[in-house]
């Protein structure tokens, strides 16, 4: 590998917050349920440690009165990334694209595991192309 190439390595993942609520009044077939979710992320570079800390927030909540969901949840997950040999342009790409793209599968797995452990079939959040999103804006996705 070129010794001047920017490098990134995931050091750790963590969960800051989990809120999960079952709906005891849910009576429909789960296969007919459509979940709307929001997903946002934010990354900060810490120059003193050479680390980027990325946090992602995903939320499924009751929308309108006519929408019956089996559960709602909010999860805040973070990742700590060690960065080497990155100039300002590479840091911005890592913060907006690379770090969220690396962290997102861990968030997807956490959601699938939590829903399965709550007695439901695992909820698999669709994959997202972080490279295709507009620069400088947090991701907001409605499914």
Closest CA to 121 of 13, 25, 35: 35
- Taking residue 65's Cβ as centre, other Cβ atoms within 10 Å add up to 6
Locus of tokens 């849910």: 26
Q: Is residue 62 part of a domain?
A: yes
Tokens (6 digits) for 57: 């927030």
Q: Is residue 2 part of a domain?
A: no
Tally of domains within the chain = 1
Q: Is residue 97 part of a domain?
A: yes
Q: Is residue 12 part of a domain?
A: yes
Q: Is 105 helix (H, G, I), strand (E, B) or coil?
A: helix
Q: Is residue 31 part of a domain?
A: yes
CA atoms within 13 A on the CB side of 4: 1
Closest CA to 52 of 83, 78, 77: 83
Q: Is residue 127 part of a domain?
A: no
123 neighbors 58 (Cβ within 8 angstroms): no
23 neighbors 72 (Cβ within 8 angstroms): yes
Q: What is the CATH number of the domain that holds 113?
A: 3.10.420.10
Digit-by-digit pLDDT tens for the chain (143 residues) are 445 678 999 999 999 999 999 988 887 777 778 888 899 999 999 999 999 999 999 999 876 666 788 999 999 999 999 999 889 999 999 999 999 999 999 999 999 999 999 999 999 999 999 987 644 434 444 33
Q: Is residue 143 part of a domain?
A: no
Print the domain residue range for 76: 7-121
- Taking residue 132's Cβ as centre, other Cβ atoms within 10 Å add up to 7
Q: Is residue 32 part of a domain?
A: yes
The DSSP letter of residue 66 is T
CA angle 84, 52, 81 (to 5 degrees): 65
pTM for the predicted model, two decimal places: 0.84
């Amino acid at each position: 590998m070129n010794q001047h190439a920017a490098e990134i390595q995931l050091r750790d993942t963590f969960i800051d917050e989990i809120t999960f609520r079952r709906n005891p009044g849910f009576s429909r077939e789960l296969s007919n349920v459509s979940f709307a979710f929001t997903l946002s992320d934010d990354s900060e570079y810490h120059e003193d440690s050479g680390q980027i800390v990325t946090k992602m927030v995903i939320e499924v909540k009751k929308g309108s009165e006519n929408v019956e969901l089996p559960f709602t949840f909010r999860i805040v997950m973070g990742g700590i990334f060690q960065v080497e040999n990155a100039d300002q342009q590479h840091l911005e790409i890592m913060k907006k694209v690379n770090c969220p793209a690396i962290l997102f599968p861990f968030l997807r797995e956490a959601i699938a595991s939590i829903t399965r452990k709550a007695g439901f079939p695992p909820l698999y959040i669709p994959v997202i192309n972080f490279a295709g999103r507009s620069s400088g804006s947090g991701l907001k996705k409605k499914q």
